[in-house]
Amino acid sequence: MSARLYLEDLFIGQRFRAGPVEVTAEAIKAFAAQFDPQPFHLDENAARDSLFGELVASGWHTAALTMRMLTESAPFAGGVIGTGGRLEWPRPVRSGDRLAVESEILEIVPSRSRPDRGAVKIRTITSNQRGEAVQILTARVIAFARPKP
Amino acid sequence: MSARLYLEDLFIGQRFRAGPVEVTAEAIKAFAAQFDPQPFHLDENAARDSLFGELVASGWHTAALTMRMLTESAPFAGGVIGTGGRLEWPRPVRSGDRLAVESEILEIVPSRSRPDRGAVKIRTITSNQRGEAVQILTARVIAFARPKP
């Protein structure tokens, strides 16, 4: 983990990378059993009759793995704290896929009412081992200003 | 689980409800350890020095629990399959909170190119035991047309 980044350390176009992490069939099924128990996330045979035709990860599993990689790669002081954003899942994640993330800061807006912080728009693209995007997240996160001495 | 709903069975204003589910400190920490290992999601003491001042759930944990309740309450034929959407986390989820969801269909757009399906915009509000929204998800999901006999 590198030095903590404060609002003043961030710039538009700044990038953060992490991964790859492999997504196993076991992990897909374990996440699904807990949070998204649908046949195409739970069982290879049942998945054959679905839209996907094979076992695929819950989009929320992809999102959770992306968050893990984001916390490992974007060392914001005070943490990576999101208030919302947009999610796109252009294609599914399959078992054996290796996912990596690349994040880019798109916008930095210092708060007018609270001088100790700002809002940062950051786009995180999660890609598989073929370089295909499986998730595009554009999130608003809080960045804290460096404490005054 | 009620009868499967096809595209023809859906209407604007249709609602689905599920919950409550209680979110324990143990569940908050277990999710965080795997997917969002930040101090304010992992440890009560460390959380005191954070923006939140107490242990709070990862927003992705709230999203995953919401998906679980969505699969229990919206019996779409072929499954609840999202292609993306918008997420807002207006306030955090704390340990002991009991979450419930209410979903409402906002838009139904039959596909021009694929007569076997349509796109449905559905808003799912996740609320705590005080009726305060902790997450607002506006998602696009696929709805399948009833198979022709």
Distance, in Å, from the CA atom of A63 to the CA atom of A61, rounded to the nearest integer, reads: 5
A91: Cα separation from own chain's centroid: 15
All residues of chain A having their beta carbon less than 8 Å from the beta carbon of residue B142 are 51
Kindly report, residue by residue over B45-75, the tens digit of the pLDDT: 999 989 999 999 999 999 999 999 999 999 9
Tokens of B67: 């998906």
**pLDDT band at residue B149 under the 50/70/90 scheme:** confident
Provide the mean pLDDT of chain B: 95
Per-residue pLDDT, averaged over A49-60, amounts to 95
Contact residues, A window 47-106, toward B, CB-based 8 Å cutoff = 50-51, 58-60, 63-65, 67-68, 71, 78-89
pLDDT at A59: 98
Q: Is this model's pTM higher than 0.90 or not?
A: yes
pLDDT at A28: 98
**pLDDT band at residue B148 under the 50/70/90 scheme:** confident
Per-residue pLDDT, averaged over A24-35, amounts to 98
Select the CATH number that applies to the domain covering B7-22+58-144 from these four: 3.10.129.10, 3.40.50.80, 3.40.50.300, 1.20.1050.10: 3.10.129.10
Alpha carbon of B120: minimum distance to chain A alpha carbons (Å): 15
> Which of A51, A65, A85 comes nearest B78 by C-beta?
A51
Domain boundaries, chain B: 7-22+58-144
Q: Percentage of chain B surpassing pLDDT 70?
A: 99
Tokens of A21: 């992490």
pLDDT at B126: 98
B78: Cβ–Cβ under 8 A, 6 or more apart, which residues? Answer: A50, A51, B142, B143, B144
Tokens of A16: 């953060």
Provide the mean pLDDT of chain A: 95
Task: Name the packing angle between helices B59-73 and B25-35 (round to 10°).
Answer: 110
Among B71, B99, B140, B142, pick the best mutation site for testing chain A contact (most A Cβ within 10 A). Answer: B71
Where do the DSSP E strands lie in B15-116?
15-22, 82-88, 98-110
CB-based contact, B108 to chain A, within 8 Å: no
Kindly report, residue by residue over A82-94, the tens digit of the pLDDT: 999 999 999 999 9
Alpha carbon of A63: minimum distance to chain B alpha carbons (Å): 7
A124: Cα separation from own chain's centroid: 6
Question: Would the pLDDT of B2 be above 70?
Answer: no
Q: Count the helix, strand and coil residues of chain B and give each as a percent rounded to the nearest 5.
A: 25, 35, 40
List phi, psi (to 5°) of B96. Answer: 90, -10
Distance, in Å, from the CA atom of A45 to the CA atom of B121, rounded to the nearest integer, reads: 29
Alpha carbon of B80: minimum distance to chain A alpha carbons (Å): 8
Task: Check CB contact under 8 Å for B86 and A86.
Answer: yes
Tokens of A68: 């893990």
Task: Check CB contact under 8 Å for B78 and A50.
Answer: yes
**pLDDT band at residue A1 under the 50/70/90 scheme:** very low
All residues of chain B having their beta carbon less than 8 Å from the beta carbon of residue A82 are 59, 89
CB distance A85 to A107 below 8 Å: no
- Kindly report the length of chain B: 149
**pLDDT band at residue A149 under the 50/70/90 scheme:** confident
* SS3 annotation, A91-120: CCCECCCEEEEEEEEEEEEECCCCCCEEEE
CB-based contact, B39 to chain A, within 8 Å: yes
pLDDT at B111: 94
Question: Would the pLDDT of B1 be above 80?
Answer: no
Kindly report, residue by residue over B102-119, the tens digit of the pLDDT: 999 999 999 999 999 999
Would you identify the CATH topology of the domain A7-144? Thiol Ester Dehydrase; Chain A (3.10.129)
Task: Name the packing angle between helices B59-73 and A59-73 (round to 10°).
Answer: 180
**Does the CA dihedral B36-B38-B43-B48 come out positive or negative?**
negative
**pLDDT band at residue A2 under the 50/70/90 scheme:** low
